Structure 1
Amino acid sequence: MSDPNERLSKLAATFRDLEAYVQQEKVRVIHFGVGAIGAEVVRALLNNPEFEIVGAIDASAAKAGKDLGDAAGIGHTLGIPVAYDPESLLKDTYADVVVHCTGSSLTEVYPQLMSIVAAEKSIISSCEELAFPWVRFPEISQKLDRRAKETGVRVLGTGVNPGFVMDMLPMMMATASQQVKSVRIERILDVTTRRIQLQRKAGVGLSVSGFQQAATAGAVGHVGLRESALMIADSFGWRMDDVSETLEPVIARERRKNEYFAVEKGYVLGLRQAARGLVSGQEAVRLDLEMSLGANDPHDLVEINGSPPIRAVIQGGIQGDAATAAIIVNCLPAIARSRLTGLLSMRELPAIPYFRPRSQQREEE
């Protein structure tokens, strides 16, 4: 048997840690997944004194055991080792929110999400299918929602798309319109200088037949258009007949080259993908996405057919990785401090999620 005084000493230390955790003003964050997006979030958090990184997890043997600063390519160490096994770290580390960036498929990341919720920690995830999962994944949604409410935490899927450009942005803009009949969003990205993973997802460098095979296998194409269309329709109270998606290659008319690929004429520069939602046989939601090398006139466009009609163009478009990291970081305070519990979407968050009323701000501010 261990010494009773030793046990009391350890217990007292635990309560001191807990008291410090409850009284702290900073939002304590664990990173689950230190890939391209996860690393971008790490960099964004380091520039914000409101947050404290208290742990990190990654299933990659190449990153597990490394310092988080090295694993995320920060340029210096942070004194935070990257754990391989999430269970003990999630159980033993006091934290408000877990930033989860491991995959796009909800069915694949569901066990990870449930383990985080079981450890009584809230989640912000970049999983695209988690942005609005109730229609396509009703059973998983119900289980996540129920368990999160039992443990008193919140679960949110978000990012630049889905999560903002092709759903929340047009819905917020529609606040200035009535009798909305349809919504159209167009997003055109030039992926020439973007990370290689995104270029591969766009099918850059493939033959046409290779693109078609990869599309059938789910290896190319953007995940999340359907979630955005469903969120928009649900927000307007539209009962859609169907949501259909199309995916086709953008073919090179001349040779193009960038850091990663040399694309010959007749090969694939990228993709065009669209989601179309019908209400009573009429098109109510249209989402058009192009991601390709040298895409002409990159931009984000929102058109709302209402009274008054609204049309807005963001020239150059919103940069995806940096914006996704910014959205996650800006939503952290709302997720950490919200009185809501359960599975949420961006609709349930305040319109300005990073805003803190003056009564909550530090006296020196």
Structure 2
Amino acid sequence: MAYTYAPEEMLARLVAFETVVGHSNAELIDFVKGYLSDHGVAFHVLPGPEGDRFNLFATIGDPARPGYVLSGHVDVVPAGEPDWLGDPFALREAGGKLIGRGACDMKGFDAAVLAAVPELCAMDLSQPLHIALSYDEEAGCKGVPHLLAALPELCARPAGCIVGEPTGLTPVLAHKGKAAVRFSAHGRSGHSSRPDLGSNAIHALVPVLAAACTQAENLQSGPQDDRFQPSWSSLQIGTIAGGQAINIIPEQAEARIEARAIDGVAPQDVLAPVIAAAGEDVSVEWLSSYPALALDRGHPLAEMVEAVSGREALGAVSFGTEAGLFQAAGIPSIICGPGDIARAHRPEEYLTRDELRGAFDMVVRLGRRLAV
């Protein structure tokens, strides 16, 4: 007999897998494979080029009909902070809080969806529900593009996608796009008393850094979208490193710069003036990118998710998600999941028991809405 899990039990199982971004998620995917197999759910495991990370795509219902995707990533950020009061990869409860790395971002939604599988399988769905689990979202949505590339061979084009990032179960219609670039400068080391015999890699980065500061200021008077805070596209120098000592000419230097763009502005275009400032001694490497999300408030997907969540849609959020990539693949998308993004990427990350149950109930209501 197939084993069923309460949402809390499923969350405990998922949190126990240390699926830190950039590392293998094979054990978690194997667990989900076994669970879905026990319930007779068809699925596809889609390896990424890394070799040790996998996307998973499962379907309940007829894949030949347009259905709805329930999408979540299974990777989490590292949990090395000293302020954890217990093992971050062993779910514990305190005062109604379910505490563990990824509980909020976003294994809570994943757990709610997977725990609902037995109930969904018992329904006669007129449109299928798909479960999409991706890897390395926290590294700039690196895993889901491989899933999206395979999707036309797996099912009819979905009618919509719900990405379950933490929004307090409030449907969210829009987010900014993002792109990140690494600028690496290569010089020639030597004694600082003879700069004529060396080549300073940090100096080579200065035009790039100056262009970034200028562009960041110029964007404030550029296109605006009042749904966001701030209402303009933004750019920042996130990290910079280089040099060994004050009396050594730096041989290597690196800066990482990101752009976040409002709808209608490509984040790659925001970075273009900065890239143009890179000289011949500076190499440019794109680290990640994903487009903005924008769904009309009157779209049928928005109306449906408002109905099953019981909450009116919110215009926009500041953080980014995989929803923009689903939208770019021709699948209308919306964000709606349990928890609060302010708890993510912090020690003692948590989801409340009520929030988890609320997500589970929302998924079941969605299934009933699609049932014949």
TM-score range, shorter chain: under 0.3
User: Given the two structures, how large is their TM-score scaled by the length of structure 2?
Assistant: 0.26
**Structure with higher helix content:** 1
User: Given the two structures, how large is their TM-score scaled by the length of structure 1?
Assistant: 0.26
